[in-house]
Amino acid sequence: MFFSVANHVWARQSSQPHREEQQSWRAIVGNKALGLTALPTAWTPPFLVVGTSLYAEWLRSGPAGRATVLAPTAKALASYMAQHPEWAERGLIIRSSAVRESMKDRGAYQSLELSADFDDHVIVRKITEIFGAFYSSGVNDEIALIVQSRAHTTLKGHLSNERRVTATSNHWMWEIEPPNDAEGRVNSQRESIPDADKPLLCKPGDRDALVELFRRIGRFCTEMNRGRVHLEWGYADQTLWLFQLDFEEGQRTPSKFGNLRLERRREPNAPHSHSVGQSHANNVVLCCASGSWRRPQRAVVHDGA
């Protein structure tokens, strides 16, 4: 599933993990990174994973020596990106991937962006910030990091068939975030699956084609037979990228939008880019709540029953 490119640093292999392998790899790369391996490599921006072993080493060292602990890994990451300049031509995003992180923890841990002119010293500072925030949260868990190519998106949103969203696994809700507010429902049951070896392409401005792509992605996910999922996506340069896949893992909340809350925190003049948690761009959290769906009223498009 992964192969080592440097101490603490892992790159993804194209093969899918066997179920018996998943638990052991989860302890190394975290739940979020494991979710990405369920998606074809052509559908996700390229990424590396910094394993949980670095956080463990960081914890063991004293505060004065922690930057020294991180320096070799930061240099390895910067060197790898220099050898693959297409990965970082628009910068990177470093995202947390805790071992026991679940859908209910969405947005709880930090994700930080790096501009394209980053170096190993910047990487050390960003990792220090993420590790420090995770440690200060008091959560009893281990954390890995996803170091992913950053895409400047013109559209961002979510696609989900969670139990709290839809009655059956073939029915999905899609959402496009502001300022392009839209949402709707689709049925993936009779759709074909996209070619896993090709990017998810869609012409700009073609909403019907985008919704059709949501249906086809939904069919891919139901064919995995791994339960309900929530996907984060972004559209950039005629390509739909999938940034995150979370499995519901047996949560049984009512299928009512009244059980969801969408919270948004955006810094002034921040550009669109894919991120979750506390980043320097749009931050979106979907979580259980007892209140109502806190979004402005807008048209909902329904597709199939």
What CATH number is attached to the domain comprising 68? 3.30.1490
pLDDT at 9: 98
Same domain, 206 and 266: yes
Sheet strand arrangement including 2-6: 2-6, 9-12, 47-50, 143-149, 92-98, 111-114
The mean pLDDT value for 145-169 works out to 93
227 three-state secondary structure:
coil
Question: The domain containing residue 27 runs over which residues?
Answer: 2-149
Cα gap 176→189, rounded to integer Å: 22
**Closest among 220, 172, 168 to 192, alpha carbons compared:** 220
The mean pLDDT value for 28-47 works out to 94
DSSP 193: P
Q: CATH number for the domain including 168?
A: 3.30.470
Q: Which of 57-66, 83-92, 191-200, 283-292 has the lowest mean pLDDT?
A: 283-292
pLDDT at 145: 98
Same domain, 125 and 223: no
98 three-state secondary structure:
strand
Q: What is the pLDDT of residues 79-112, one digit of tens each?
A: 999 999 999 999 999 999 999 876 665 555 678 9
pTM: 0.79
Question: pLDDT confidence of 286, banded at 50, 70, 90?
Answer: very low
Cα gap 165→167, rounded to integer Å: 7
170 or 106: which carries more pLDDT confidence?
Answer: 170
Residue 288 has pLDDT above 70, yes or no: no
Distance between first and last Cα of the chain: 38
Percentage of the chain with pLDDT > 70?
Answer: 77
Mark which of 107, 129, 149 sits at the end of a domain: 149
How many domains in the chain? Answer: 2
pLDDT at 22: 81
Share the mean pLDDT of the chain.
82
Mark which of 133, 149, 165 sits at the end of a domain: 149
